[in-house]
């Protein structure tokens, strides 16, 4: 298996989750209210799975290794765009959290912000994923030998193995400060 395999599997789950999030946004708009738990679950998924787990493997392993390769100017540009898009996703997710907190504090007008920002993410990610899947991942694999690909795949599995501990150690640290 090539290292892009697990990344593309993760993309499929991210796509399905975003479809579900957008359905919740449509329901919230029609009911003119939103369940903050649904926002919390969506944010946790985006932050933990899409960003920390998935983007983490891309940025900390794939992109790191590609930085040492003689990539074409086009691929270097795409890699920078992807990094910028990851940062945009983080900022947009933080804006959703801020809007939710204001909404819970009684600012009903922030519902529109939550809906708009969630829809921005919902329209952003499919384009971002398509760029990675169709324009970046496949050509980048050509820069790696078979042993390099096998090492990268093993590093992906190790990254995933550590993620659960990272998440729950952070939860514990935050909880003990309450």
Per-residue pLDDT at 171 exceeds 90: no
Per-residue pLDDT at 165 exceeds 90: no
Structure tokens at 134: 């169709």
| Total tally of structural domains belonging to the chain | 1
Structure tokens at 66: 């590609």
* 36-48 mean pLDDT: 94
pLDDT of residue 159: 95
pLDDT band at 1 (very low <50, low <70, confident <90, very high): confident
Per-residue pLDDT at 163 exceeds 90: no
* 71-90 mean pLDDT: 98
- Cβ(66)–Cβ(79) under 8 Å? yes
The total number of residues shown for the chain amounts to: 178
Q: Which of 103, 97, 112, 122 is nearest to 40 (CA)?
A: 97
Q: What is the pLDDT of residues 110-151, one digit of tens each?
A: 999 999 999 999 999 999 999 999 999 999 999 999 999 999
pLDDT of residue 174: 86
Entry pTM: 0.92
Q: What does the alpha-carbon distance between residue 6 and residue 61 come to, in Å, rounded to a whole number? A: 13
The terminus-to-terminus CA distance of the chain in angstroms comes to 45
Per-residue pLDDT at 73 exceeds 90: yes
Q: What does the alpha-carbon distance between residue 130 and residue 6 come to, in Å, rounded to a whole number? A: 15
Q: What does the alpha-carbon distance between residue 156 and residue 138 come to, in Å, rounded to a whole number? A: 17
Tell me which residue range forms the domain holding 60.
4-176
CATH of the domain at 99: 1.20.120.520
Structure tokens at 117: 């920002």
């Amino acid at each position: 298996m090539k290292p892009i395999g697990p990344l593309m599997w993760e993309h499929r789950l991210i796509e399905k989750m975003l479809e579900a999030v957008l359905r919740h946004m449509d329901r919230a708009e029609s009911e003119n209210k939103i369940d903050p738990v649904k926002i919390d679950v969506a944010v946790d998924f985006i932050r933990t799975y899409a960003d920390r787990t998935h983007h983490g493997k891309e940025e900390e392993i794939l992109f790191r290794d590609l930085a040492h390769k003689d990539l074409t100017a086009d691929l270097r540009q795409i890699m920078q765009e992807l990094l910028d898009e990851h940062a945009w996703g983080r900022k947009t997710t933080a804006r959703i959290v801020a809007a939710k907190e204001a909404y819970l504090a009684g600012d009903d007008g922030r519902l529109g912000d939550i809906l708009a920002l969630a829809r921005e993410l919902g329209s952003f990610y499919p384009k971002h994923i398509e760029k990675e899947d169709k324009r970046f991942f496949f050509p980048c694999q050509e820069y790696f030998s078979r042993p390099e690909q096998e090492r990268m795949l093993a590093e992906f599995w190790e990254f995933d193995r550590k993620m659960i501990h990272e998440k729950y150690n952070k939860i514990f640290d935050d909880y003990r400060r309450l």
